[in-house]
A = this chain, B = another copy of it.
Amino acid sequence: MEVFPEKGSYHRSNLKGILDSFRPDFEKIERVLNRHFASHIPFINEISQYILFAGGKRLRPLLTVCAARLLGRDDEDVFNLSAVPEYLHAASLLHDDVVDGGVMRRGRSPAYKIWGNKATVLVGDFLYAKALNLASRFDDIRIAKAIADTVALMSEGEILQLLQVETPSFDEKTYLEIINKKTASLISVSCKIGALFAGAGKSEVQALSDYGLYLGQAFQMIDDILDYTADTSELGKAIGTDLAEGKITLPLVVAIEKASSREKVMLSKLLRGGNISEKKLVWVKDLLVDTGGLDYTHRRAKALIDMACKGLEIFAPVETKDLLHDLAWFVLERRK
């Protein structure tokens, strides 16, 4: 079965080509990321660097830059601003890395294993604070407020996800609330602050926030598909971790709805359960294919990407608009 059947209207020769077109921007983004996080305490810089420069996609800063550029602003300060969402992202990764006892962790050695829970939390706080400090340097209280609101939403999303492990609920509505808060809110605000900073009008700010929101939802859905289907070496982390951590994602929501009662019992058992064997993981993947869980999730993501792009219609057909379309397509078609 082909999990990614349609490439739709955004088909391009390759995904790498899209990223290549942003190369000069990525280089500038790396420079500003290096510029604003420093503490005079080397230990803090060590942990910050570990999480900030671990091969992130830089999707969030790129969106800030593109949103501002779409509205005609493209200067050094836009790049400075673009570090804000990436610092939030890094801080949230550190806090996500904190563990309760024996919970399994993913891929690369997580920060808490090297520096302990306490230092990991505190450096996360430091990065949140740096993001908020940076956000308040542009003399626009709306930017500072948007960022503070996003941190609240992200923590709510993570907490809802945590509560899922204790009291699972298998409906799409809960899933959507979680991904909206934990992922899409930050991707949306990445666009929003770019628009605000460029002096956009209300409807333009809204259109770009919505673009980011839909893109963010789709981004998380693709992430949730890849957690079951990706090539481990390409993804850079183990697959099946959502299941092992008790995370109920959309492919699973659909599968549980369609599964037989015997299969449901089996799935619930696996969700409660720690280590999952290769054989059991293959069984779950087959179920996600047979029940249409993966297909449905990909169709939903595709529809969101369409909505994201449609919302950009209010803008003039400049090159940056095409690039935002490309970026949306990239989010949908990425393999890692």
Contacts and interface: CB of A to CB of B under 8 A. Distances in A.
Contacts of A116: 100-101
A308 to B, nearest CB: 26
A122 interface: yes
Interface in A190-217: none
Instruction: Specify which of A125, A137, A144 lies most central, judged by the most chain B CB atoms within 10 Å of its CB.
Output: A125
Interface stretch (A21-29, A128-136, A311-319): A128-136
A137 B145 contact: yes
Interface in A127-157: 128-130, 132-133, 135-137, 139-141, 144-145, 147-152, 154-156
A160 interface: yes
A158 interface: yes
A333 B100 CA distance: 40
Contact of A141 (B129, B141, B152, B155): B141
A155 B118 contact: no
A155 to B, nearest CB: 4
Interface stretch (A38-46, A73-81, A295-303): A38-46
Given A137-B145, A145-B137, A162-B118, A155 B98 contact: no
A99 interface: yes
Nearest to A152: B129
A151 B122 contact: no
Q: How large is the interface on A (under 10, 10 to 19, 20 to 34, 35 or more residues)?
A: 35 or more
A163 interface: yes
Interface string A71-101: 0000000000000000000000001001111
Given A133-B152, A159-B44, A125 B128 contact: yes
Please report whether the interface of chain A is mostly helix, strand, loop or mixed according to DSSP: helix
A39 B154 CA distance: 12
Contacts of A152: 39, 126, 129-130, 133
Contacts of A121: 95, 98, 121, 124
A132 B159 contact: no
Given A98-B98, A152-B133, A158 B128 contact: no
Contacts of A320: none
Contact of A100 (B44, B118, B154, B155): B118
A323 interface: no
A138 to B, nearest CB: 9
A139 B141 contact: yes
A117 interface: yes
The 3 closest A-B pairs by CB, nearest first: A129-B152, A129-B151, A132-B148
Interface of A: 39, 41, 43-44, 95, 98-101, 116-119, 121-126, 128-130, 132-133, 135-137, 139-141, 144-145, 147-152, 154-156, 158-160, 162-163
21 contacts: A41-B159, A95-B121, A98-B121, A100-B116, A100-B118, A101-B116, A117-B117, A122-B155, A123-B155, A123-B159, A126-B155, A126-B159, A129-B148, A129-B149, A132-B147, A132-B151, A136-B145, A137-B145, A139-B141, A140-B141, A144-B148
